[in-house]
Structure 1
Amino acid sequence: MKKVITLLVLLATFTQTNAQSDLTGQSAYGSWFMYFGTNKIADKWSIHTEAQFRYYETASNFNQLLLRTGVNYHINPNAIATLGYGFIETDPTFSEFDVIGGDALIKNNSISEHRIFEQFILKNKVWEFNFEHRYRLEQRFVQNNFSGITNTLHRARYRIQMTLPLTDIFFLNFYDEIFINLQDDAFGQNRAYAALGVNVTEDLSMQFGYLKNHFSETNFDRFQVGLFYNTDLRGIFKKKK
Structure 2
Amino acid sequence: MGRYPFKKNLANSAGLVLTLLTLVLSGPDSLNAQETGEEELGAWYMYFGMNRFAERWSLHTEAQWRYYQWNRNFNQLLLRTGINYHISEKAIATLGYAYIDTDPTFEDAPSPDTPFAGNLISENRIFEQFILMNRVSELRFEHRYRLEQRFINYQGENQTRHRARYRLQLTLPLTDTFFINVYDEVFLNLQGEVFDQNRLYAAFGVRITENSSIQIGYLKNHFRNTNFDRLQFALFFNPDLRNIFGKQPLN
Offset of 1:234 from its aligned partner?
1.6
- 1:130 corresponding residue in structure 2: 140
**Correspondent of 2:208 among 200, 204, 213:** 200
- 1:188 corresponding residue in structure 2: 196
Tell whether the 8 Å contact from 1:96 to 1:108 is kept in structure 2 after alignment: no
Q: Are 2:66 and 1:58 aligned? A: no
Superposed, which structure 2 residues align to 1:1-241 within 5 Å? Answer: 4-12=12-20, 14=23, 18-96=30-108, 109-144=119-154, 146=155, 148-238=156-246
Tell whether the 8 Å contact from 1:207 to 1:226 is kept in structure 2 after alignment: yes
Identity %: 59
TM-score after normalising by structure 2: 0.86
Q: Flag structure 1 segments of 5+ consecutive residues without an equivalent.
A: 99-106
Cα distance in 2 for residues equivalent to 1:97 and 1:124: 44
Offset of 1:237 from its aligned partner?
2.1
Whose radius of gyration is greater, 1 or 2?
A: 2
Offset of 1:6 from its aligned partner?
4.5
Tell whether the 8 Å contact from 2:29 to 2:225 is kept in structure 1 after alignment: no
- 1:104 corresponding residue in structure 2: none
Cα distance in 2 for residues equivalent to 1:108 and 1:41: 39
Task: Calculate the aligned-residue CA RMSD, in Å.
Answer: 2.1
Q: Flag structure 2 segments of 5+ consecutive residues without an equivalent.
A: 1-8, 111-116
Over residues 199-232 of structure 1, what are the superposed CA-to-partner deviations in whole Å (9 max), with x where a residue is unaligned? 0011110000000000111100000000000011
Structure with bigger strand share is 1
Cα distance in 1 for residues equivalent to 2:18 and 2:124: 44
